[in-house]
Structure 1
Amino acid sequence: MRKLACIVLTALVVALAGCVTINVYFPEAAAQKAADQFIGTVLDSSGQKAPPAPDKNAAPAHDNPPAAQHPSAMLLDLLVPAAQAADVPNLRVQTPAVQAIHERMRTRFQNALQALLDSGAVGFTRDGLVAVRDAAKVPLSERAQANAAVADENRDRAALYREIASANNHPEWEAQIRATFAETWIEHARPGWYYQGVSGAWQRK
């Protein structure tokens, strides 16, 4: 009788696992934290590099091992929490491509973009890029260089959003990652810098 009960319980567990719908939602909080760290170190004039992200996949240590469980109960614990955990995925950000983009953007900010932002010639757009707002604030002899810096910056920003989405095997997240970074660039804007509001109009921070 006990053997029959175990068989029935195991069958129910397998059926339950098959009915669990695994929904992978965009990890907004993790994306916000990643954007905060990335942008903060790009705009840091001290030249600080982005620190390596902690290994979020590392299993937490347990001082007290769990008590022995019935095999069927252990199977249930393995299946259901695993499906629930998929609802809140980690966000992988530290890749060689992202690091290379970070270094280029940090160097470009120090060498060209910071002065353009300080003068008001360039501002942050509402879609996570930069744009020339007032070309008259750039001497004529330097405008070609300024336009090249803006184009290079936008190329790297687009690559950054795409790379983070691809690194997490969710290319469909690119638009959400871009939106999160767009808000964070504006949050990190210094007093006097320009940015686009929701309507697209330029505002000064």
Structure 2
Amino acid sequence: MRLLKWLMGSTAGLMLISCVTINIYFPAAAAEKAADRIIEDVWGREVQSQPKSTSPEDTSELKQTLPLAMQVLNWLVSPAQAEVNLNINSPAINALQAKMKQRHELLHPFYQTGAIGLTSNGLITLREASAVPLKDRNTVNTLIAEENQDRKALYAEIARANGHPEWESDIQETFARRWISNAAKGWWFQQGGSWQQK
């Protein structure tokens, strides 16, 4: 009986040690690079690249949220981190990007005057209606609605194109930070519920 318990315990231990876990975390650094490339294409070269905020702390936060059993397993067996690069070259992504780029030419003057601002959730909004001539307000509201619709579709499509639809909210959060970081001087953005000017 003892021999059987010892054999079962040894077999279970060997199986545990021989396991290699592959954890595919949201690739924050790759998402920031992808966002910056798309933003530069949509907005042109006037954007101001800011230093990226991705650091090793991002992965340590993820490790702390793992269940205890996974943390023990990761301690016993070194997990293999799968490097993930985001695919941002699908026909749907390219079509959305082209529409946004074309629309930006119409929105640009309203970013400059402060009529339109960047929201903290990766969208845009009419910030100062009085900065838009009355005759243009319906047009501007339509442009804002179309831009927001395309931005949401872009975030979803990037997640879908990479086989991880569950990443959509992470992608949107990443883009939200990068839109603001790349905004031109003088543009308005939301932070902590209040408006600030770059």
The answer to whether TM tops 0.5 is yes
Mapped partners of 1:18, 1:144: distance in 2: 64
Quick one: higher RCO (CA 8 Å, sep 6+), 1 or 2? Answer: 2
Give deviations 1:66-85, integer Å, cap 9, x for gaps: xxxxxxxxxxxxxx99x825
1:24 equivalent in structure 2: 24
Mapped partners of 1:171, 1:17: distance in 2: 32
Q: Gapped runs of 5+ residues in structure 1?
A: 1-10, 47-79
User: How far did residue 19 of structure 1 move?
Assistant: 2.1
1:181 equivalent in structure 2: 175
Mapped partners of 2:81, 2:26: distance in 1: 13
Match of 1:103 among 98, 102, 106: 98
Give secondary structure in 2 for the equivalent of 1:108.
helix
Is 2:31–2:174's contact at 8 Å kept on the other side of the alignment?
A: yes
Moved over 6 A (4+): none
2:113 equivalent in structure 1: 119
1:90 equivalent in structure 2: 85
Is 2:122–2:176's contact at 8 Å kept on the other side of the alignment?
A: yes
1:202 equivalent in structure 2: 195
Give deviations 1:3-39, integer Å, cap 9, x for gaps: xxxxxxxx9xx94696222211011111010011110
Mapped partners of 2:157, 2:168: distance in 1: 8
Number of positions where the alignment pairs a residue of Structure 1 with one of Structure 2:
157
Mapped partners of 1:17, 1:168: distance in 2: 31
User: How far did residue 92 of structure 1 move?
Assistant: 1.2
Superposed, which structure 2 residues align to 1:64-79 within 5 Å?
Answer: none
1:133 equivalent in structure 2: 127
User: How far did residue 179 of structure 1 move?
Assistant: 0.8
Give deviations 1:39-74, integer Å, cap 9, x for gaps: 01111169xxxxxxxxxxxxxxxxxxxxxxxxxxxx
Give deviations 1:130-167, integer Å, cap 9, x for gaps: 00001111111110000000000000000000000111
2:61 equivalent in structure 1: none
Is 2:23–2:81's contact at 8 Å kept on the other side of the alignment?
A: no
Give TM-score, length-normalised by structure 1: 0.71
Mapped partners of 2:17, 2:38: distance in 1: 38
Mapped partners of 1:45, 1:103: distance in 2: 16
Identity %: 47
Structure of greater Rg: 1
User: How far did residue 98 of structure 1 move?
Assistant: 0.6
Is 2:24–2:81's contact at 8 Å kept on the other side of the alignment?
A: no
Q: Gapped runs of 5+ residues in structure 2?
A: 1-10, 47-76
For the aligned residue pairs, the C-alpha RMSD in angstroms reads 2.3
Give secondary structure in 2 for the equivalent of 1:202.
strand
User: How far did residue 189 of structure 1 move?
Assistant: 0.8
